[in-house]
């Protein structure tokens, strides 16, 4: 009976170790993917904005997001509007690097969608990279009034 109990405990302990070790591997893989997505987006810094552009010679916001996730093996929709429905919805208080922010701007009967990739989150600031129509690919502070007041939603692609 004692041998069976020892064998059972050994199997149980090994199972817990393998589960914890497997979760650690998954977490590390997820972090590598997020870092790859962010570094890919950052490699476009300074690239001029071009509506419909998809390359280093000119890019729009949704293509920046699509290209960045593509490098980590994720296939996401092409337009910001469609991307805003992809992945898991996230709230302001749960934002992490690698999440995608979507904006809906309105001006004189015109409305347009814009997207960016969260690159860092701390107590005071949330930074994101995006293809600005006036300044090209840049990092901006999401907590500034201009961006904060136009946020439509956040999505997490890498879960």
Q: Is 61 a catalytic residue?
A: yes
Query: What are the beta bridge partners of residue 89?
Result: 155
Set 37, 38, 59, 61: catalytic member: 61
Please name the residue that has the structure tokens 């000119």.
58
Q: Is 125 a catalytic residue?
A: no
Please name the residue that has the structure tokens 């050994």.
10
Q: What Å distances lie between residue 77 and 63, 107, 127, CA to CA? A: 9, 25, 23
Tokens of 93: 């208080």
Q: Is 21 a catalytic residue?
A: no
Set 130, 131, 137, 154: catalytic member: 130
**H or E element: which one contains 37?**
helix 2-42
Set 60, 72, 114, 119: catalytic member: 114
Write out the catalytic residue numbers: 61, 114, 130
């Amino acid at each position: 009976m004692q041998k069976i109990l020892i064998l059972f405990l050994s199997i149980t302990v090994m199972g817990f170790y393998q589960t914890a070790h497997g979760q650690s591997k998954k977490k590390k893989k997820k972090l590598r993917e997020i870092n790859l997505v962010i570094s890919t987006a950052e490699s476009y810094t300074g690239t001029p904005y071009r509506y419909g552009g998809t390359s280093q010679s000119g890019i729009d916001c949704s293509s920046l997001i699509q290209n960045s996730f593509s490098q980590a093996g994720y296939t996401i929709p092409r337009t910001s509007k469609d991307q805003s429905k992809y992945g898991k919805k996230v709230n302001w208080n749960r934002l992490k690097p690698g999440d995608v922010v979507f904006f809906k701007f309105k001006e004189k009967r015109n409305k347009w969608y814009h997207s960016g990739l969260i690159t860092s989150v701390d107590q005071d600031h949330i930074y994101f990279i995006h293809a600005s129509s006036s300044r090209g690919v840049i990092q901006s502070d999401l907590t500034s009034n201009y961006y904060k007041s136009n946020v439509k939603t956040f999505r997490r692609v890498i879960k």
